[in-house]
Structure 1
């Protein structure tokens, strides 16, 4: 009986120690990703500040980006972006019209007929007056990692301004850097979003996952023929 008790006591201690080590490691990695990329977030565009300061424009101009990369964020229905995605698209359109970059690269999940982020994103930016030739669509941006990998491998992007919400931006910039892309971020936060606490928690886990993933650099889920960002984006629309 004593041996059994000692065994379970030792097992509990091992579990507690392992949990502490794992927790410490996760917190450390999370902090590392955030601290490494915080200076690469040029600004956060809010509802009260829908234009860029001259200092911010200079920093973005110095990068000389090939494109503005917009990451998908869900849709309400087959015609309507989610609130988060709408804010990302509005920010990207503002940057495009300000002359920050000559192209938009829309990267989202088009994995099923009923969930076609790209169709919604493309329709939205076209309605805002962005010419077809300046819009590139990545239909296989199933994850942040895939979006970054394919931006480089399929669309031959070298430098980009990434648009997403600030909580997600750190990981996007970190992955891009580790894959050899030069990037800066413009965060698209314009309001408080419902369910943000859950997203923040998931993001901590995702930062840890991708911290190790970029060490291996696996290929994206889907490959494909190259569509250089320097050309005409119409062929990528798939409509």
Structure 2
């Protein structure tokens, strides 16, 4: 029983670490190659954990809970710290750029919380299984696990629907139909006000559409800092200030879609974003009664990071958007 449980926990650790490593790949990938990213992110992380776990006896389930968790947390933070530092150095050596240390630390902490919850839960389930008399505790525990699993499965449906429904409505800048206006959705801005690469790509795509004569106006939507950064970018690209509409109240994608029709009066819109985001954006705009198409603002060159980090986020964001839409309809 002890060996079987240890092996199951070990396999679970490998899954968690693989997902963690992919989620922690730098926002600007080293190269647009999945194999390369896996080799510099996943493999070192896995080897580090396997080696340290073996040396530190991380799967000794005979240990008391406190000692077991203390040992695993120490080994985990040693592994993730070395893995993060190695990728930090690798990126500098390969691309001569330095990653934002604050974001690396924040993401590492988030993944660490996931790992600690997994270790605690798996150890708890093992201990409960050793005591047949604790049937109620087992039922409650497994019911909780089942509920999480069901919620996770249900969360996939809105995202799957958005992909199937709107894949045919997404175009490149060159192949896009005409529209009344372009909706540029806000993206990250660094602490010093520098726009993220994602934001630059979106504004550049809007500029290209306008100069091709495919749109007449551009709505810059997001929080105040995002809109200010996008406005500066747009003016730098030579766009006519009179053709720029500032949608400062667009704190979320749903808000941006609502304001397009209610505040700005546009009902035929080209939504500009990255592919991972467009499925949800088109679903939300369509739900608001806006005839919309999606315009790709990137070439998907950050494949591994996009595939794991952003698409995974979109699964739950689309589910949340679905709930918001249903709530709005109930109020009407």
Contact 2:159 2:280 in 1 (8 A): no
Q: Is it true that 1:13 corresponds to 2:142 in the alignment?
A: yes
From 180, 193, 217, give the equivalent of 1:66: 180
Q: 1:16-31 residue pairs with structure 2 within 5 A?
A: 16-31=145-160
Specify the alignment match of 1:231 in structure 2.
none
| CA deviation map 1:188-231 (0-9, x unaligned) | 1144289543332222110110011111228xxxxxxxxxxxxx
The structure whose Rg is larger is 2
Secondary structure of 2:272 counterpart: strand
Q: Distance in 1 between matches of 2:150 and 2:315?
A: 16
- Unpaired runs of at least 5, structure 1: 46-51, 111-115, 219-239
Q: Distance in 2 between matches of 1:123 and 1:21?
A: 45
Specify the alignment match of 2:201 in structure 1.
87
Specify the alignment match of 2:162 in structure 1.
33
Secondary structure of 1:136 counterpart: strand
Secondary structure of 2:139 counterpart: helix
Specify the alignment match of 2:278 in structure 1.
169
Distance 1:194 1:117, change over 3 A: farther
- Unpaired runs of at least 5, structure 2: 1-130
Count of matched residue positions in the alignment of Structure 1 and Structure 2:
197
Contact 1:33 1:171 in 2 (8 A): yes
Contact 2:235 2:241 in 1 (8 A): yes
Distance 1:7 1:79, change over 3 A: closer
| 1:75 CA drift (Å) | 1.9
Name the structure where strand makes up a greater proportion of residues.
1
Specify the alignment match of 1:103 in structure 2.
217
Distance 1:25 1:194, change over 3 A: closer
Q: Distance in 1 between matches of 2:328 and 2:168?
A: 24
Specify the alignment match of 1:224 in structure 2.
none
Distance 1:33 1:194, change over 3 A: closer
TM-score when normalising by structure 2 = 0.55
More relative contact order in 1 or in 2 (CA 8 Å, sep 6+)?
A: 1
Secondary structure of 2:190 counterpart: strand
| 1:104 CA drift (Å) | 0.5
Q: Distance in 1 between matches of 2:141 and 2:160?
A: 28
TM-score when normalising by structure 1 = 0.76
From 129, 133, 138, give the equivalent of 2:238: 129
Secondary structure of 2:134 counterpart: helix
Q: Distance in 1 between matches of 2:196 and 2:328?
A: 30
| 1:28 CA drift (Å) | 2.2
Deviation >3 Å, runs of 4+? 76-80, 193-197
Q: Distance in 1 between matches of 2:271 and 2:257?
A: 10
Q: What root-mean-square deviation, in Å, do the aligned CA atoms of Structure 1 and Structure 2 show? A: 2.2
Secondary structure of 1:156 counterpart: coil
| CA deviation map 1:52-101 (0-9, x unaligned) | 1xxx34xx13xxx2201101111235553210100111111000111111
Q: Is it true that 1:209 corresponds to 2:320 in the alignment?
A: yes
Q: Distance in 1 between matches of 2:143 and 2:265?
A: 48
Q: Distance in 1 between matches of 2:193 and 2:149?
A: 46
Contact 1:106 1:135 in 2 (8 A): yes
